Structure 1
Amino acid sequence: MAFATAEACDINSHLIQNGELRALQPIFQIYGRRQVFSGQIVTLKVFEDNVLVREFLEERGNGRVLVVDGGGSLRCAILGGNPVQQAQNNGWAGIIVNGCVRDVDEINGCDIGVRALASHPMKANKRGIGERHVPIHIGGTRINDGEWLYADTDGILISKAELSV
C-alpha cells in the first residue's frame, strides 16, 4: 500500500479544517509486521477486560480496523499474541488499542498492523464487560464506528469518509 498519512494531510487540508479528517496524538507504539494499514473502523470500549476484544477478532474482519478504547490502562494487557494471530487469519487490517499488549514477539510475527500504548506482561480480566459500536475518545479525538482509519509510521488519521490518494 502506497498510502502516506503526511501526504493525505497535505492533500486534504480542507477536511482537517472542517474536522472531517483528524490525527491521533502520537502516543502509540508500533507492533506487527504491517506498518501501513487502513480500513473501516469498528469501535469497542472496555477496561482491563479482553473478552469482547477476543470475540470481535474471532469474526471475519473484511479489511476493517478494530479500535479499542481500553481506558488508557497501563496495569495489564488487553491484547495478546493469540488474538492477533486470529485477527490476521480472519482478515482484519489492524488493531488500535488505547491500552497495553503482551506477547510482543508473537504480535510482531503477524502480518497485521497493531498500535498500542505499551506492552505489559499481566493478563486482563475476563468479565465480558464493555460496549460495542459506540463513539470513543482516544488519542485526543472522538472516533465513531464506521469511520475510516489510516496508519503508517508517521501517525494515525481518522476520516469521516474513505479517502482516495
Structure 2
Amino acid sequence: MIKTTDLCDEKPQQARVLAPLFMDLGGRADFQGPAVTVKCFEDNSRIKELSGQAGEGRVLVIDGGGSERCALFGDHIAEDLVCNGWAGVLVYGYVRDKAVLRGLPMAIKALGVTPAKSVKRNEGQVGLDVTFAGQTIASGDLLYGDDDGVVVLDAPRA
C-alpha cells in the first residue's frame, strides 16, 4: 500500500488531500483504488445495488450530503462489499452497526455512526462528480486512504 504521506511528498502538485473529517470504522484503515461515486441523500438504494456487484479493488465513494439523520449502510451491505471485492468505502455521511464493521477486513471511513436506518425510494445517482471535505472526486479518480487521511489523484488519462 502506498502511504498518503508519501504521496503528498512525492506528488505535491497532484495529491489532493480531503479535510480530516472521517472516522475509521472498519477493521482496516487503509485502502487504495479507483473511485466509484454515488450521490444519494438519506436513501441507500444505489449503495445496496453496487454492494452486490464485483468491486474489483475499487473504492466506493458515497456523498450522502453529510446528513446525520440516518445511516447509509450497516453490517449487511458492508459484508456484501467485502465479499464482492471492494477495497474500501468513503462515506460523507453516517453508518451503523459499528461493532460488526470494525470486525470486517475493509477500510470504512465515515463521518460517524447513528442507529437510524435510511429510507428506500430508489433514488440516487452513480458516476457523478461529488464534492465534499474540500475536494471534488470523479469516478475513476484514484483514492488512497490510511491512518493519516485520504488523498485523491486525478484519474489517469489515456
What range describes the TM-score normalised by the shorter chain of this pair? Answer: over 0.9
| Paired AA for residue 41 in structure 1 | A
Give the deviation of 1:96 after TM superposition: 0.6
Partner of 2:76: 82
**Percent of aligned positions that are identical:** 40
| AA partner of residue 64 (structure 2) | G
CA-to-aligned-CA distance 1:78-120 (integer Å, 9 cap, x gap): 0101100110000000011110000011111110110000100
Deviation at 1:31, TM superposition (A): 1.2
Match of 2:13 in 1: 14
Per-residue deviation, 1:36 = 1.2
Correspondence for 2:122: 128
Gaps of 5+ in 1: 16-20
Deviation at 1:128, TM superposition (A): 1.3
TM-score, structure 2 length as denominator? 0.96
Name the structure 2 match of 1:28: 22
Q: CA RMSD in A?
A: 1.0
Q: 2:151 matched to which residue of 1?
A: 157
After TM superposition, the structure 1 = structure 2 runs for residues 53-92 of structure 1, keeping only pairs within 5 Å, are 53-92=47-86
Q: CA deviation at 1:23?
A: 0.6
Amino acid at match of 1:63: G
* SS state at 2:13 partner: helix
**Paired residue total:** 156
4+ residue runs over 3 A deviation: none
Distance 2:135 2:155 in 1: 16
State the 1:143 CA deviation. 0.6
C-alpha displacement at 1:34, in angstroms? 1.7
Name the amino acid aligned to 1:84. Answer: A
1:13 is displaced (CA, Å) by 1.6
In structure 1, distance between residues paired with 2:68 and 2:11: 34
| Secondary structure at 1:10 match in 2 | helix
Q: 1:52 to 1:161 in 2, by over 3 A?
A: closer
User: How far apart are 1:30 and its partner, in Å?
Assistant: 0.4
Q: How does 1:88-99 map to 2 (within 5 A)?
A: 88-99=82-93
Deviation at 1:14, TM superposition (A): 3.1
Secondary structure of residue in 2 paired with 1:78: coil
